[in-house]
Amino acid sequence: MGNLDALVATAREARERAYCPYSGYAVGAAVLGADGVIYSGCNVENASYGLTVCAERTAIFAMVAAGCRSIREVVVATQDSGTPCGACRQVMSEFIESPEDVLVHCVDDSGGIRSLRFSELLPHAFRLGRDRG
Ligand code: THU
């Protein structure tokens, strides 16, 4: 299986674990780290709605918690190939070294795929520099 196929399969599997009783909108994400490992996440909602965490951030935080700080490629799986929200784009930006080279693929239920460079998804990203402790 190629990288992209494996990422899509992982994002779709993660989507099945989404906890979304309030919105009913399930999201799965798969992030390929610079370490070659695929990290996955799903959205996790809460009765206090604002505490909900998106699938993309769940996956990125799993990557960082495992010791990897660089994103190579991302897949987001939804019913309608929805693109990542603004908050998740900002969090991705923190861990993307070369925005032109990182692709974000948004896939739907029926095989549709929308692929964007991260630089298209979040132009003029807010950055404080590379010294990230
Ligand atoms: N959601 C994500 O998981 N990722 C996004 O980029 C957009 C929104 C989730 C949050 C919430 O659980 C549901 O989708 C509806 O907004």
Dihedral of alpha carbons 64, 68, 71, 73, sign: negative
Judge whether 79 and 51 are in contact, CB under 8 Å: no
Q: Which two tokens stand for residue 63?
A: 């990557």
d(CA 82, CA 77): 8
Percent of the chain at pLDDT exceeding 70: 95
Percent of the chain at pLDDT exceeding 90: 93
pTM: 0.95
In this prediction, residue 38 has a pLDDT band, given cuts at 50, 70 and 90, of very high
> Residue 7 C-alpha to ligand 1 middle, in angstroms?
19
User: Whose CA is closest to atom 13 on ligand 1?
Assistant: 25
Question: Across the chain, what does the average pLDDT equal?
Answer: 96
What pLDDT score was predicted for residue 132? Answer: 52
Per-residue pLDDT tens over the stretch 66-89: 999 999 999 999 999 999 999 999
Query: Over 60: is that where the pLDDT of 65 sits?
Result: yes
Q: Which two tokens stand for residue 20?
A: 């979304």
What pLDDT score was predicted for residue 130? Answer: 57
Q: List the one residue out of 35, 30, 88 whose CA is nearest residue 57.
A: 88
Which H or E element spans position 89? helix 86-94
Sheet strand arrangement including 28-33: 38-42, 28-33, 71-77, 103-107, 113-117
Q: Using a 6 Å cutoff on CB, does residue 88 contact ligand 1?
A: yes
Which amino acid belongs to residue 74?
Answer: V
What pLDDT score was predicted for residue 17? Answer: 98
Q: Using a 6 Å cutoff on CB, does residue 73 contact ligand 1?
A: no
Please name every residue paired with 28 in a beta bridge, in sequence order, or none if there are none: 42, 77
Q: Which atom of ligand 1 sits closest to the CA of residue 45?
A: 12
Q: Using a 6 Å cutoff on CB, does residue 121 contact ligand 1?
A: no
For the chain, how far is it from start to end, CA to CA, in angstroms? 35
In this prediction, residue 131 has a pLDDT band, given cuts at 50, 70 and 90, of low
> Residue 54 C-alpha to ligand 1 middle, in angstroms?
5
Q: Which atom of ligand 1 sits closest to the CA of residue 55?
A: 3
* Catalytic residue IDs: 56
What pLDDT score was predicted for residue 2? Answer: 79
Q: Which atom of ligand 1 sits closest to the CA of residue 44?
A: 12
